[in-house]
Amino acid sequence: MCRSKPFRFSARAGLVGVLLALAVGCSQSPVGPATDAPVLLTRLSRAGGALSAAEVNLYVEQLVPTQSGGRLELLDVTLDIPPGAVANDTVFSIFIPDDELFYNEFGTSGLVFDVPVSVTMSYRNADLTGITETSIRIAWYNADIAWEPVDGTIDLVNKTVTAQLSHFSAYGLISDARPGGQ
């Protein structure tokens, strides 16, 4: 739901509000348009060598024992679940809803960890046009404020970003730094 500050209604204010809403819009989608917000990285076009949906399974799940932990991998995403991350054996999953975006949904959604889970996302097939590579980071989608960055490290040689997650949600690779202030 879009939120705005309360104001006194008048016919003129109502008309301005409607016109503004039509011009700007309101989106709860992590992939929807936004102004002055970080951009979600996209993959190079399929003609440029990126994988197509027909070549990959865009969903994987695995029961991870609490005693030993485990690892899940899908396309350009790796989850490392350490022992004791959760109290019980749990099904973990990675879902990539759109193979043209660096956007993933990790499940069980909302799961909070006793020990952080490590995620590594590769951006080797990213379209970096207009993106400053050192600004790329992992962020989770918070419906109240859009993309919320997570502390992590970028490996410019291997083109990966790694972060420690305290919970599951939707995560993506973002950047808000563009050459020339674009």
In this structure, what DSSP letter does residue 164 have?
Answer: E
Q: Are 41 and 99 in contact (CB under 8 A)?
A: no
As given in the structure block, the two tokens for residue 94 are: 């990675």
Tens digits of per-residue pLDDT, 64-80?
999 999 999 999 999 99
Q: Are 101 and 127 in contact (CB under 8 A)?
A: no
Reported pTM: 0.73
- Phi, psi angles (nearest 5°) of residue 21: -60, -40
Tens digits of per-residue pLDDT, 97-144?
988 999 999 998 889 999 999 999 999 999 998 899 999 999 999 888
Percent of the chain with pLDDT over 90: 58
pLDDT for res 108: 87
Cα dihedral sign for 176, 177, 181, 182? negative
Q: Are 85 and 72 in contact (CB under 8 A)?
A: no
pLDDT for res 143: 85
Tens digits of per-residue pLDDT, 2-58?
433 333 333 333 333 333 333 333 334 454 444 457 889 998 875 444 444 445 569
Q: Which H or E element spans position 79?
A: strand 77-81
Instruction: Count CA atoms within 13 Å of residue 74 on its CB side.
Output: 24
Evaluate whether the domain defined by 32-181 bears CATH number 2.60.220.30: yes
